[in-house]
Amino acid sequence: MANIKEIARIAGVSVTTVSRVLNNHPYVSDIKRAAVLNTIEQLNYSRNMNAVHLITGRTGAIAVILPYINLYYFSIVMDGLAHEALNAQYRLILCQSNYAAEEELKVLEMLRNKEIDGVVIVSTALQPEVIEEYTDYGPVITCQDSGERRFSSVYIEHYEAFWDGLQYLSSKGYRKIGYCEGRQNGSSASIRQSAFRAFLSERNLPFREEWMVYDCMTEEDGAGVALSLLDMQDRPEVLIITGDHVAAGLIIEARKHGLRIPEDLAVMGFDNQPIGRLLDITTIDNHLYDMGAAAFRIIHEQIRTGSRVPVHRKLDYEIIERGTV
Amino acid sequence: MANIKEIARIAGVSVTTVSRVLNNHPYVSDIKRAAVLNTIEQLNYSRNMNAVHLITGRTGAIAVILPYINLYYFSIVMDGLAHEALNAQYRLILCQSNYAAEEELKVLEMLRNKEIDGVVIVSTALQPEVIEEYTDYGPVITCQDSGERRFSSVYIEHYEAFWDGLQYLSSKGYRKIGYCEGRQNGSSASIRQSAFRAFLSERNLPFREEWMVYDCMTEEDGAGVALSLLDMQDRPEVLIITGDHVAAGLIIEARKHGLRIPEDLAVMGFDNQPIGRLLDITTIDNHLYDMGAAAFRIIHEQIRTGSRVPVHRKLDYEIIERGTV
DNA sequence: TTGTATGCGTTATCAG
DNA sequence: CTGATAACGCATACAA
């Protein structure tokens, strides 16, 4: 495979000139530029980017850590990231970690090894303290509120969003509110849960452990909740459920058994997924695409400018009023 | 940042010895190994992988080209790829191309530039002839049947799968069969379409252009089809629909208007998505996860062995009998 | 078992 | 505008 030296020799110039042509530098005479371009064409030359990466210390790649790419939440964030990356001519390295901290750590090691220019973390397996140990090696951004850290973050206030959602339910006259949460290992789950408890207590609304469901992650889990509600003596009037697909499972199963939504049971979702629109589910849109896009823009800016000052960006959410409340 | 030379100097050994320790080579005395490991620890040393990539000519990364990461089809294939990549300690570079051939070409250029060891194509924007121009630079695999090419492929026979699906419908006594296709730019769409036409003609079943729907990609599109069916004088008895989410949209909307499924209108889906299971949709599972996993294993093997002999692997599909037919 | 010397392919530096 | 030469950090052939 031809290299820059050979191009220089054949074109009758120095390697420096070839390099200048390759990088569109000024100060190359048209005649020499043409000669270089010509031999490049003739030899079907292509740059070995690894040499470029070595000497420049940059790779033009950013790694993304997320647990499962085929879950709605993550695939939408990834969509936002990928869209911006395409614009910025940046490459995205995907690490599907299954929440394995050890795998996520390997990605941070890649940052240390200069294989990548930055890391976007859309997972919760790593402690903030661990992440901070790598901030010297390049910019890192997480997609949740990690407080004042040496890395950046972009997030929505889950506490606030959940509180607002509950307020909305309350304003509709509901008093008996149940709660359906997904995976428990995320910090946002516990934040939402505390918002839930605080709200009930502030408003003097009844809290019942039977109205709380945890680790409810799939459509089928939602359907299971519907079944368990059927037998319940004292049912909640409304359920707030993280993940519209779970809400969808619940609604479909509930209707199958004659439960009217929202008359017999109201439902408020979370995520604003396509299935939610289809089933006319009232939900909270947490702007996942924007989150991914913002994360990329922030980290890209930090790489570009070399700034190590962490940026913390809070995003909006939005209650989507539809028919299940 | 410390480098191998400095480690050698401080540990009192040669750079070769340091390199041997780094790569777990034999023929290093325990005492020197310990000394090296010790200074590595002390200086918080980490390898510059770009130098390794440069000298070895390998990067340990494979690029994946797909149009949209947040569509079920692609996210599942990606899941299979990512799972295997994690096992093999390989990195995956995601290019979300939006079907832009020019972007996909850039990825093939990366192969030429030695930035990656191979390319997995789960898109259809590039012509096979174009892809073949890059097979000298490293292994490439596509996730559709491209015939006898200089690159590998893993695929299901869409013609056969669709034919079998139609046969199944036929065996259930349906004669008036409609067809609902997604994005038209994929070659698999036209293959399925020709299977559809051939089947009807062979069985002497009626073909009606009003029963054909194209570019039907979202849940809402499915719902739209349901509405248009309501007004139709002579409705099909059954609809075969690519994409369970589209089928779901159709079913939900149809039921809203009093259409009974499958009595008034039967539905057969494609993809076997979670929503399909929830709504009890009869469907064809095209084993997308396996496709991703197989694609990775094949290309990884080719990278490992250096073999340039293309592999063509046909995968199974499976009719999932449920309640909408 | 160890070390010396060379090369990987490029960009950066600096002198002209 | 141009070019010679020094980095970049590592792996490896070869010699010892």
Q: What is the mean pLDDT of residues B279-291?
A: 96
**B52 in any annotated domain:** no
CATH code: domain of residue A30? 1.10.260.40
Q: Are residues B292 and B273 in the same domain?
A: no
A51 touches strand C (CB under 7 A): yes
What residues of chain A lie within 8 A of the CB of B136, using their CB? none
Instruction: State, as a whole number of angstroms, the distance between the CA of A69 and the C1' of D12.
Output: 40
Q: In terms of domains, do B303 and B213 share one?
A: no
pLDDT given at position B23? 93
Q: Are residues A303 and A266 in the same domain?
A: no
DSSP letter (8 states) at residue A137 = G
A267 pLDDT tier (thresholds 50, 70, 90)? very high
Asked if residue B188 and residue B134 are part of one domain, the reply reads no
Which residues contact residue B85 at a Cβ distance below 8 angstroms, ignoring those fewer than 6 apart? A96, B62, B91, B92, B296
Tokens of B47: 């390898």
Residue of A nearest to B245 (CA): A275
pLDDT of residue A187 exceeding 80: no
Res B1 pLDDT > 90: no
* Same domain, residue pair A42 and A65: no
Cα–chain center distance at B182:
16
**Average of pLDDT values for A199-205?**
96
In 3D space, the residue among A82, A3, A4, A105 whose CA is nearest the CA of residue A292 turns out to be: A82
B103 touches chain A (CB under 8 A): yes
Quote the crossing angle between the two packed helices B4-11 and B15-22, to the nearest 10°: 110
Q: How confident is the model at residue A183 (pLDDT cuts 50, 70, 90)?
A: confident
User: Same domain, yes or no, for A194 and A271?
Assistant: yes
Whose C1' is closest to the CA of B29: which nucleotide?
C1
User: Per residue in A207-258, pLDDT tens?
Assistant: 999 999 999 999 999 999 999 999 899 999 999 999 999 999 999 999 999 9
Residues A180 and A109: their CA atoms lie apart, in Å, by 37
- Tell me, yes or no, whether A230 lies in a domain: yes
Which of B114, B115, B278 minimises the CB distance to A249? Answer: B278
pTM of this prediction exceeds 0.85: yes
- Calculate Rg over the CA atoms of chain B: 26
B228 lies in the same domain as B181: yes
Categorize the per-residue pLDDT at B291 as very low, low, confident or very high, splitting at 50, 70 and 90: very high
- Quote the strand ranges of chain B, DSSP E: 61-66, 91-96, 118-121, 140-142, 152-156, 177-180, 212-213, 238-241, 266-268, 283-285, 312-315, 318-320
Residue A284 predicted with pLDDT over 90: yes
Query: Are residues B272 and B169 both part of a single domain?
Result: yes
Minimum mean pLDDT among B181-185, B249-253, B261-265: which range? B181-185
Report helix, strand or coil for B321: coil
Residues of chain B above pLDDT 90, percent: 93
Which residues of chain B are within 8 Å of residue A221 when distances are taken between CB atoms? none
Is there a domain that residue A43 lies in? yes
Q: Is the pLDDT of residue B70 over 90?
A: yes
pLDDT band at A162 (very low <50, low <70, confident <90, very high): very high
Distance, in Å, from the CA atom of B227 to the CA atom of B212, rounded to the nearest integer, reads: 14
Say whether pLDDT at B184 is over 90.
no
Which DSSP category does B217 fall into? -
- Closest-CA residue of chain B to A106: B89
Residue A59 touches partner B, C-beta closer than 8 Å: yes
| Torsion (CA) B96, B101, B104, B109 in degrees, nearest 10 | -160
CA distances from A53 to A90, A260, B75, B92, B114 (A): 14, 61, 30, 18, 11
CB-based burial of residue B289 (10 Å sphere; 0-12 exposed, 13-18 middle, 19+ buried)? middle
Q: Residue range A190-198: average pLDDT?
A: 93
Query: Measured on CA atoms in the order B292, B295, B297, B300, is the torsion positive or negative?
Result: negative
Give domain status of residue A112, yes or no: yes
Minimum Cα–Cα distance from A137: chain B residue: B1
Phi/psi of residue B114, each to 5°? 65, 20
Q: H-helix or E-strand containing A84?
A: helix A72-87
Closest residue of chain B to A107, computed from CA coordinates: B91
User: Does residue B54 form part of some domain?
Assistant: no
Q: Is the pLDDT reported for residue B27 higher than 90?
A: no
Region A159-178: mean pLDDT is: 96
Same-domain status, A190 and A268: yes
Angle at the Cα of A66 from the Cα atoms of A62 and A69, rounded to 5 degrees: 105
Q: What is the pLDDT of residues B15-24, one digit of tens each?
A: 999 999 999 9
Q: Are residues A149 and A180 in the same domain?
A: no
Burial code (b: 16+ CB inside 10 Å, e: under 16) for A258-285 equals: ebebbeebbbbbbbbbbbbbbbebbbbb
> What's the pLDDT at A190?
87
What number is the average pLDDT over the span A252-273? 95
Q: Is residue A323 part of a domain?
A: no
Identify whether A325 is part of a domain.
no
User: Both A37 and A178 in a single domain?
Assistant: no
Which pLDDT belongs to residue B188?
82
Tens-digit pLDDT profile for residues A115-146: 999 999 999 999 999 999 999 999 999 999 98
Q: Do A289 and A79 contact (CB within 8 A), yes or no? A: yes
Phi, psi of B95 (to 5 degrees): -115, 105
Widest Cα–Cα separation across chain A? 90
H-state helical runs in B157-243? 158-171, 187-203, 219-230
- What CATH number should be reported for the domain holding residue B278? 3.40.50.2300
Amino acid sitting at position A89: Q
- Nearest CA distance, B35 vs chain A (angstrom): 22
* 3-class secondary-structure state, position A316: coil
DSSP 8-state class, residue A282: B
Q: From residue B164, how far is each of A316, B159, B283 by CA, in Å?
A: 48, 9, 11
Q: Is A206 on the interface with B (CB under 8 A)?
A: no
Give the sign of the dihedral formed by CA B217, CA B218, CA B222, CA B228: negative
Per-residue confidence at B26, pLDDT binned at 50, 70, 90? Answer: confident
For the segment A64-85, what is each residue's pLDDT rounded down to a tens digit? 999 999 999 999 999 999 999 9
**pLDDT tens, residue by residue, B85-137:** 999 999 999 999 999 999 999 999 999 999 999 999 999 999 999 999 999 99
Query: pLDDT value at position B146?
Result: 87
Q: What is the pLDDT of residue B3?
A: 92
pLDDT of residue A155: 96
Q: Do B93 and A98 touch (CB under 8 A)?
A: no
Sort out which chain A residues have CB atoms less than 8 A from B99's CB and list them.
none
- Dist CA B123 CA B66 (whole Å): 5
Rounded CA gap, A298 and A153, in Å? 9
Mean pLDDT across chain A, nearest whole number?
A: 94
Would you state the pLDDT for residue A316? Answer: 95
- The tally of domains found in chain A comes to 3
Q: pLDDT tens for residues A30-63?
A: 999 999 999 999 999 999 999 999 999 999 999 9
Residues around strand D, C-beta < 7 Å: A 12-17, 20, 26-29, 31-32, 51, 54-55; B 1, 3-5, 15-16, 19-20, 22-23, 47-48, 51-52, 54-56
Shared domain for A152 and A292, answered yes or no, is: yes
How far is residue A259 from each of residues A253, A262, B22, measured CA to CA in Å? Answer: 9, 9, 64
pLDDT at site A258: 94
Structural domain of A113: 60-156+288-317
What count of Cα atoms within 13 Å lies in the side-chain half-sphere of residue A39? Answer: 22
On the question of pLDDT at B187 being above 80, the answer is no
Q: How far is B170 from chain A (nearest CA, A)?
A: 29
In a domain, B69, yes or no: yes
Would you state the pLDDT for residue B147? 87
Whether B76 has its CB under 8 Å from any CB of chain A: the answer is yes
User: Model confidence over B236-246: pLDDT tens digits?
Assistant: 999 999 999 99
pLDDT reported for residue B2 = 87
